[in-house]
A and B are shown apart, each in its own frame.
Chain A
Amino acid sequence: MSGKSNGHRPTSEPGAPPDDAVSGAERLRLLDARDGGVGWRRWGPYLSDRQWGTVREDYSETGAAWDYLPHDHARSRAYRWGEDGLLGISDQLGRLNFAIALWNGQDPILKERLFGLTGPEGNHGEDVKEVYAHLDATPTGSYLKALYRYPQRAFPYADLVAENGRRDRGAAEYELEDTGVLAEGRFFDVEVEYAKAGPEDIVIRISATNRGPDPAPLHLVPTLWYRNTWSWGRCGARPSIAIEGRTRGHLTLLASHARMGDFRMAIEGNVDPLFTENETNAERLFGVPNAGPYVKDAFHAAIVDGRTEAVNPDQTGTKAGAHLLASIEPGATSTVRLRLARSLAANPFIDVDNVWRPGSPKQMRSTRHSARV
């Protein structure tokens, strides 16, 4: 089997002898990566869960990293040294990133990243206040699967901060489960899976299951964006993402970067594309005018605040999203598929069932996402 081979298998059932801990196909990929120079490691789960509140992003006088760039600023401020997102991936230099964003129609903000308390906020220091889990992965990232549990009720941001702030060090930490927001199963289990059809050919499947008793709406925004390397003198040329084509079945984005070359991303269904720039919203954060009209938090502004003028009507930018809205019945699962690759066939989804194991994604789909109109 060559490095171009299709198909993947997650690791064999663990507990087996170590020689079988990694299956045959993945073993070949590892050998191809080491001995054949095949770029199976070029893409992976390299996107951080949190870039805000880190030392690297801290340009304060006092070194108070948590306070300098808190969660509330993260959606509006372009980072320097990395990106973050929900269950996302990137190339090995973190130039082009992919992750999902969610909105339940209740929250004050678009859910683009995991929420947690800073060191000073938590009664035992910093602590993530979310439910998520890593379900499966192969060493080269040829298969990755993780779950994020998103409440249908409003995410209790303020309650989590306030109640943990009231508690002293002797008390238990106040977790998302303790807020009651997940009661009665009123949440979506959002599973994200990545499967490589080739070193730089990644099929993505996002499945949202309503675990609650009532139908519930879910906005899903698969997002593709470039880390900002251009506005602070590191690397001059600004990359761009734009629409390459649209058919009845899918939308294709073209992402162009001077050094990386071109990538395409196809999104299944009749989606509503959004574009902005990965630039700081200085107006919101510092009260000074923005250099350009389109800034990092535009998708939040358009979807949550209804400010559609925040996204670029020319449909180009360094950050692109595909807005999908579904009303999901109790127990039902809504699925969308995407494919990210250097080049795509006319129908990029025709052969993807070969990439998956086991079964067909079609069997898992009970409702379809439709475009927001």
Chain B
Amino acid sequence: MDQARVQRRAFAGLIWTKQLYLYDVAAWLDGDSETPAPAGRRKGRNSGWRELNTRDILSMPDGWEYPWFAAWDLAFHMLPMALIDPDFAKDQLLLMTREWYMHPNGQLPAYEWAFSDVNPPVHAWAAWRVYKIDRRIGGKPDRDFLERIFHKLLLNFNWWVNRKDADGHNVFQGGFLGLDNIGVFDRSAPLPVPGHIGQADGTAWMGFYSLNMLAIALELARENRVYEDVATKFFEHFLHIAGALNGVDVESAPLWDHDDEFFYDVLHLDTGEFIPLKVRSLVGLMPLLAVETLEPDVLEQLPDFKRRMDWFLRNRPELASLVASWEDPGMGQRRLLALVHGHRLKALLGRMLDPHEFLSDHGIRSVSAVHRDHPFVLSLAGQDHVVDYEPAESRTGAFGGNSNWRGPIWWPINYLLIDALQKFDHYYGMDFRVPLPTGSERLASIGEVADDLARRLETLFSRDETGRRPFRGPGIPAEPTGSTDDLVLFHEYFDGDTGRGLGASHQTGWTALVAKLLEQRSRRRMSDGVQRETLA
């Protein structure tokens, strides 16, 4: 019952946080009869976005703190939204790709403070997930939706490829990528030394994006062969990115650190020197997100795709070997495409599931707690740059000091990790087991790890055995039903040690993803005993 209350409040917040968003950028830049624009404005904020002209109802992150749309937040909002209002969810995702939002060059607008900022490319993922949820709930697939959005996403994908790969080596940048202060420097600002950063997360996101596009193309190709070769395109593009991430291309520095068995950003100095930035953060876990399984019947249905795939794997053995699992049909003859597998998967999960590193009682931390006592320090151009573990609010002013990715638990990435783990489980099944938590005797399948993570996140809001709701913070006594305690709030992020809610306090918003997790749990309970499927 208490979980039902939490879910209902999350849905309520999600709906209440819809808002009219009016912004005619050209008119705003030029000023009007009553308020002329100051001189600097035409070259200032959002001056490259004159085509953006909106008057739509949009799903906002938080009605007070973020009363403006944020494209990647919105993509997450649409998963729980699709459970109660799939038409609205599909319309919102399409809207972001329409001509009055998407830049003519293919970029999606980030948010009004700087539409040109770069957020992680999650739009294709959300579109694919919403398509599947809608199909399950409504009983029939909305292929028109999928096809419409796919065409626009092709433009956006190309924007990424052409704008965010400085060397043309499939190692991507992207700047802060939504993770504010997670890096050693402000990753959106010029570096203190000449060079650029090869970003593990930027590259992982593009691997992720390629696989989402592959999945959509394959789905469309089932009924329209036209999409078969574009599926091939994304298959090969994914393998190029996988090669780059794993250092197959000798000219780029490997992002995988063999000693630490972790992915790090690498600083590429113009002198040709490479410096790995050894911060253990979500940046290094991000490659886990890029995973997709292929069903055997897809390959049977799409002979052209299969022919080219076989040719490619035969003729690019160095890339084929990166997805060696490819050769080993897993459960139900499924095939696995992933940036990490086998040993590296276990190594990353080992850190992720270690309570001394990423695993907290209420989810995966954004920075490993190992940096509590061992901050990462980089001395560069006479200045020390430090990243330590800060479980609560930010102690620095970077990005306004309003958000903190150096320790707290954030829902969007936790949700994506659960989603990815379920896909790995789909392939590996019960045979692939890891200690949970790391260091313990208990061995769990990846599916059980995903369940465990979901439970940890859900417990932020539900009453515990003493009646407390952990998001309210330690030391706050439980209050009876009907009291303030039942005003369940959905914060922006959560203390990496205690689970206390931090930042914006009505972020339903992506924290409403809890409604989707609770729905999955309820569905799973109901289908107990039935063979498990990847949940849409």
Residues of A within 8 A of B (CB): 11, 13-19, 21-22, 30, 33-34, 41, 44-51, 54-56, 59-63, 65, 80-82, 84, 90, 92-94, 114, 116, 119, 122, 124-128, 131-139, 141, 144-147, 169-170, 172-173, 231-234
Complex-state Cα separation, A80 to B508, whole angstroms:
26
| Residue pair A11, B11 in contact (C-beta under 8 Å) | yes
Which of B19-27, B95-103, B221-229 is the interface stretch? B19-27
Complex-state Cα separation, A150 to B124, whole angstroms:
43
Residues of B1-36 at the interface with A, using a CB-CB cut-off of 8 Å, are 1, 3-4, 7-9, 11-23, 27-28, 31-35
Residues of B170-199 at the interface with A, using a CB-CB cut-off of 8 Å, are none
- Known A-B contacts A92-B20, A128-B65, A137-B12; the reply to A19 vs B137 at CB < 8 A is yes
- Known A-B contacts A17-B523, A137-B15; the reply to A51 vs B67 at CB < 8 A is yes
Which of A41, A59, A62 has the largest number of chain B CB atoms within 10 A? A59
| Residue pair A15, B518 in contact (C-beta under 8 Å) | yes
Closest to B85 in A: A139
Closest to B133 in A: A18
With a cutoff of 8 Å between Cβ atoms, the chain B residues found around residue A138 in the complex are 15
Interface flags, B69-102, vs A, CB<8A=1, else 0: 0000000000000011101100000000000000
| Residue pair B87, A63 in contact (C-beta under 8 Å) | no
B112 at interface by CB-CB < 8 Å? yes
Complex-state Cα separation, A44 to B58, whole angstroms:
12
Complex-state Cα separation, A139 to B88, whole angstroms:
9
- Checking A15, A81, A90, A114 against B64 with a beta-carbon cut-off of 8 angstroms, the contacting residue is A114
Complex-state Cα separation, A301 to B140, whole angstroms:
57
B68 at interface by CB-CB < 8 Å? yes
- Known A-B contacts A14-B7, A55-B112, A139-B84; the reply to A145 vs B12 at CB < 8 A is yes
B119 at interface by CB-CB < 8 Å? no
- Checking A131, A172, A234 against B487 with a beta-carbon cut-off of 8 angstroms, the contacting residue is A131
- Checking B64, B400, B487 against A128 with a beta-carbon cut-off of 8 angstroms, the contacting residue is B64
| Residue pair A144, B15 in contact (C-beta under 8 Å) | yes
Complex-state Cα separation, A13 to B3, whole angstroms:
10
Complex-state Cα separation, A6 to B297, whole angstroms:
49
- Can you spell out 16 A-B residue pairs with CB atoms less than 8 angstroms apart? A11-B84, A14-B7, A16-B522, A21-B11, A21-B519, A33-B87, A59-B41, A62-B40, A81-B23, A124-B393, A125-B400, A134-B506, A135-B9, A137-B16, A139-B88, A144-B16
B364 at interface by CB-CB < 8 Å? no
- Checking B23, B57, B63, B64 against A56 with a beta-carbon cut-off of 8 angstroms, the contacting residue is B23
| Residue pair A14, B11 in contact (C-beta under 8 Å) | yes
B534 at interface by CB-CB < 8 Å? no
- Known A-B contacts A124-B402, A125-B401, A169-B395; the reply to A14 vs B515 at CB < 8 A is yes
Closest to B490 in A: A134
| Residue pair A124, B57 in contact (C-beta under 8 Å) | no
| Residue pair A18, B137 in contact (C-beta under 8 Å) | yes
| Residue pair B38, A59 in contact (C-beta under 8 Å) | yes
- Known A-B contacts A11-B84, A14-B515, A114-B64; the reply to A48 vs B4 at CB < 8 A is no
With a cutoff of 8 Å between Cβ atoms, the chain A residues found around residue B511 in the complex are none
B39 at interface by CB-CB < 8 Å? yes
| Residue pair A54, B34 in contact (C-beta under 8 Å) | no
17 new A-B contacts, CB < 8 A, other than A22-B84, A30-B87, A232-B34, are: A15-B4, A22-B85, A46-B20, A55-B68, A55-B112, A56-B22, A61-B39, A63-B45, A90-B20, A125-B403, A126-B65, A134-B12, A134-B15, A134-B16, A139-B15, A169-B395, A173-B393
| Residue pair B23, A46 in contact (C-beta under 8 Å) | no
| 10 closest residue pairs by CB, A with B | A125-B402, A137-B15, A14-B7, A139-B85, A49-B63, A15-B4, A133-B487, A94-B20, A61-B38, A49-B64
With a cutoff of 8 Å between Cβ atoms, the chain B residues found around residue A81 in the complex are 22-23, 28
| Residue pair A232, B32 in contact (C-beta under 8 Å) | yes
B526 at interface by CB-CB < 8 Å? yes
- Checking B33, B40, B112, B395 against A170 with a beta-carbon cut-off of 8 angstroms, the contacting residue is B395
| Residue pair B32, A61 in contact (C-beta under 8 Å) | no
Complex-state Cα separation, A114 to B505, whole angstroms:
13
| Residue pair A134, B88 in contact (C-beta under 8 Å) | no
- Known A-B contacts A127-B65, A128-B65, A136-B8; the reply to A15 vs B522 at CB < 8 A is yes
| Residue pair B40, A61 in contact (C-beta under 8 Å) | yes
How many Å from the CB of A230 to the closest CB on chain B? 11
| Residue pair B38, A147 in contact (C-beta under 8 Å) | no
Closest to B88 in A: A139
| Residue pair B394, A124 in contact (C-beta under 8 Å) | yes
With a cutoff of 8 Å between Cβ atoms, the chain B residues found around residue A136 in the complex are 8, 12
- Checking A17, A125, A233 against B526 with a beta-carbon cut-off of 8 angstroms, the contacting residue is A17
With a cutoff of 8 Å between Cβ atoms, the chain A residues found around residue B87 in the complex are 30, 33-34
With a cutoff of 8 Å between Cβ atoms, the chain B residues found around residue A126 in the complex are 65, 400, 402
| Residue pair B63, A169 in contact (C-beta under 8 Å) | no
Residues of B within 8 A of A (CB): 1, 3-4, 7-9, 11-23, 27-28, 31-35, 37-41, 44-46, 55, 57, 60, 63-65, 67-68, 83-85, 87-88, 112-113, 136-137, 392-397, 400-403, 484, 487-489, 503-506, 508, 515, 518-519, 522-523, 526
Complex-state Cα separation, A61 to B43, whole angstroms:
11
Complex-state Cα separation, A115 to B140, whole angstroms:
46
Complex-state Cα separation, A81 to B35, whole angstroms:
13
Complex-state Cα separation, A13 to B8, whole angstroms:
7
With a cutoff of 8 Å between Cβ atoms, the chain A residues found around residue B19 in the complex are 45-48, 82
| Residue pair B68, A54 in contact (C-beta under 8 Å) | yes
With a cutoff of 8 Å between Cβ atoms, the chain B residues found around residue A137 in the complex are 11-12, 14-16
With a cutoff of 8 Å between Cβ atoms, the chain B residues found around residue A14 in the complex are 3-4, 7-8, 11, 515, 518-519
| Residue pair A119, B402 in contact (C-beta under 8 Å) | yes
With a cutoff of 8 Å between Cβ atoms, the chain A residues found around residue B22 in the complex are 56, 81-82, 94
With a cutoff of 8 Å between Cβ atoms, the chain B residues found around residue A232 in the complex are 32-35
| Residue pair B489, A169 in contact (C-beta under 8 Å) | no
With a cutoff of 8 Å between Cβ atoms, the chain A residues found around residue B518 in the complex are 14-15
Complex-state Cα separation, A37 to B249, whole angstroms:
55
Complex-state Cα separation, A92 to B28, whole angstroms:
21
| Residue pair A116, B85 in contact (C-beta under 8 Å) | no
With a cutoff of 8 Å between Cβ atoms, the chain B residues found around residue A62 in the complex are 40
Complex-state Cα separation, A60 to B41, whole angstroms:
8
- Checking A56, A82, A119, A132 against B28 with a beta-carbon cut-off of 8 angstroms, the contacting residue is A56
Complex-state Cα separation, A169 to B35, whole angstroms:
37
With a cutoff of 8 Å between Cβ atoms, the chain B residues found around residue A59 in the complex are 31, 35, 37-38, 41
With a cutoff of 8 Å between Cβ atoms, the chain B residues found around residue A41 in the complex are 57, 88
| Residue pair B18, A21 in contact (C-beta under 8 Å) | no
With a cutoff of 8 Å between Cβ atoms, the chain A residues found around residue B8 in the complex are 11, 13-14, 136
Which of A18, A60, A93 has the largest number of chain B CB atoms within 10 A? A18
With a cutoff of 8 Å between Cβ atoms, the chain A residues found around residue B15 in the complex are 44-45, 134, 137-139, 141, 144
Complex-state Cα separation, A63 to B45, whole angstroms:
7
- Checking A19, A119, A132, A170 against B400 with a beta-carbon cut-off of 8 angstroms, the contacting residue is A119
Complex-state Cα separation, A138 to B508, whole angstroms:
15
How many Å from the CB of B463 to the closest CB on chain A? 15
With a cutoff of 8 Å between Cβ atoms, the chain A residues found around residue B506 in the complex are 128, 132-134
Complex-state Cα separation, A107 to B271, whole angstroms:
63
With a cutoff of 8 Å between Cβ atoms, the chain B residues found around residue A80 in the complex are 28, 35
| Residue pair B83, A50 in contact (C-beta under 8 Å) | no
- Known A-B contacts A56-B28, A61-B38; the reply to A17 vs B401 at CB < 8 A is no
Complex-state Cα separation, A22 to B515, whole angstroms:
13
Complex-state Cα separation, A33 to B518, whole angstroms:
28
With a cutoff of 8 Å between Cβ atoms, the chain A residues found around residue B112 in the complex are 54-56
| Residue pair A133, B397 in contact (C-beta under 8 Å) | no
How many Å from the CB of B2 to the closest CB on chain A? 9
How many Å from the CB of B73 to the closest CB on chain A? 16
With a cutoff of 8 Å between Cβ atoms, the chain B residues found around residue A119 in the complex are 400, 402
How many Å from the CB of A74 to the closest CB on chain B? 12
Closest to B503 in A: A124
How many Å from the CB of A231 to the closest CB on chain B? 6
Complex-state Cα separation, A116 to B22, whole angstroms:
22
With a cutoff of 8 Å between Cβ atoms, the chain A residues found around residue B38 in the complex are 59-61
| Residue pair A128, B505 in contact (C-beta under 8 Å) | yes
